[in-house]
Chains A and B, each alone.
With several copies, the nearest count.
Chain A
Amino acid sequence: MIRTAIVSDAIDVPALIREVTSEATGATTLFLGTVRDVNDGRDVTGIEYTAYAGMASDELQRIAVEAQTQFDGVRVAVEHRIGTLGLSDVSVAIAVAHARRTQAMDASRFIIEELKRRVPIWKCEHYADGERQWIDPTASRASVVAS
């Protein structure tokens, strides 16, 4: 089973775990991305996530399908949240279950790495000093936009 979604409300993490776990699975893994209070030494107050909604949904689904091809029998539920998130809020949840733990763990890692590489979602960090900036993981330092 595969289910992926871009959502704007809080992610129901226990529901995702239940969704992938079955009597035929022996290992369930969960990966959560959460909003950190400090990034690159700056105090973060929140993160605004924005997406190219239609393509982000498609790309996320393609990644889950690739995971299922690579890790046969894997069960996957992924949600990525967009909108304004506060500290410790869950931005992404990846639940994976498989009969065997190695496949579950490897599939989970594959999904988060591909998601970060390919899914058209962006984050704008808001700082305690009032500035905000779009994060560019490919740059050493993102450009600062006065808020």
Chain B
Amino acid sequence: MTQLQVLLFASYADAFGANCVSVTVAEPATTADVVGALRALPGGHVLPMSPLVAVDRRYTRGDVAVSAGQEIAVIPPVAGG
């Protein structure tokens, strides 16, 4: 098992009550594992079926491997402009 830090923003940060949460996942971990662990936390019901996940400041597609050294963020629907 490993602990990963996940960055949260906007409505997700409000729902979880934090800008950053720790999740514990089995190794080797993937983004789907991270989302699954988040969903089990209080506030996790706000996450859609497949939330956008960014790793090292780039969007990921599908399920990709993640490790503790990476910057992981779950991204609510963006609304810039």
Contacts and interface: CB of A to CB of B under 8 A. Distances in A.
Given A134-B14, A145-B14, A121 B76 contact: no
Contacts of B46: 143
Given A52-B73, A55-B57, A120 B78 contact: yes
Given A120-B9, A122-B9, A122-B10, A135 B57 contact: no
Interface size class of A (residues with CB under 8 A): 20 to 34
Given A54-B57, A58-B57, A120-B54, A137 B77 contact: yes
Given A143-B11, A145-B14, A119 B77 contact: no
A115 B80 contact: yes
B52 to A, nearest CB: 9
Given A52-B73, A118-B59, A122-B10, A92 B80 contact: yes
B76 A134 contact: yes
A109 interface: no
A51 B78 CA distance: 9
Contacts of A120: 9, 54, 73, 75, 78, 80
Interface string B58-75: 110000000000010101
Interface string A109-145: 0001001111111111000000000111111000101
B81 interface: yes
Contacts of B59: 118
Contacts, number: 79
B7 A52 contact: yes
A136 B77 contact: yes
B15 to A, nearest CB: 9
In this complex, which of A116, A117, A122, A138 has the most chain B Cβ atoms within 10 angstroms of its Cβ? A122
B49 interface: no
A55 B54 contact: yes
A83 interface: no
Given A55-B58, A115-B80, A122-B80, 14 more contacts: A52-B7, A56-B80, A58-B57, A92-B80, A118-B59, A120-B9, A120-B54, A120-B78, A121-B80, A122-B78, A122-B79, A134-B79, A135-B79, A136-B76
